[in-house]
Structure 1
Amino acid sequence: MSTKEQILEEVKIEELLGNQNTIVLFNDDVNTFDHVIDTLVKVCNHEPLQAEQCALLVHYKGKCDVKSGDINDLVPMCSALLDAGLSAEIQ
């Protein structure tokens, strides 16, 4: 594969993905597992099992990507997570 072909392939992949951003949820040692799980289900439309897995990852790893997508969709979700007392940011 030539360099030109490789660059074109990378550009096509970036076009397909668009400008994907991610909401990262951080451990705060304040909120309960139930509160985190309920909030992820309500705000991010997670299934309960998915929300539980994210809560466990946040607890043990310190952070977890909880939602990816277009920035315009993520801003209100991240704001709702913050309003619920969780620590989150868009990256």
Structure 2
Amino acid sequence: MSTKERIQEETVYARQEQKENVIVLYNDDVNTFDHVINTLIYACDHTPEQAEQCSIIVHYKGKCDVKSGSYDDLEPRCTMLLEAGLSAEIL
């Protein structure tokens, strides 16, 4: 294997290792805007404006990416969303 091929292979591997996951929040007919906004502020460290925008996107589009990062960072955040009665998953 040439040096160039090895570097390209290492670069591809590094990109795969750095892949970010996202929490996707889904719309439901149960939770109020205020509840969703407050939960996003608490669980995902959103600003009030950011949480409000995400709640509007979820309402009209059916889903919204609300937080990206490593799986280890997202897992407890997603758990908080689920425990608050929201529909979310990590992709």
TM-score band, normalised by the shorter chain? 0.7 to 0.9
Code of the residue aligned with 1:53 in structure 2: it is: Q
Letter aligned with residue 38 of structure 1:
N
Residues in 2 aligned to 1:65 and 1:13: alpha-carbon distance in whole angstroms: 24
Query: How far did 1:13 drift?
Result: 7.9
Aligned twin of 1:90: 90
Report sequence identity in percent.
63
1:1-91 equivalence runs, <5 A: 8=8, 11=12, 14=15, 18-91=18-91
Runs of 5+ unmatched residues, structure 1: none
Matched residues in 1 for 2:86 and 2:80: separation?
9
Work out the CA distance in 2 between the residues paired with 1:76 and 1:58.
21
Residue 14 of structure 1 and its aligned partner are, at CA, apart by 2.1
Name stretches of at least 5 consecutive residues in structure 2 with no aligned partner. none
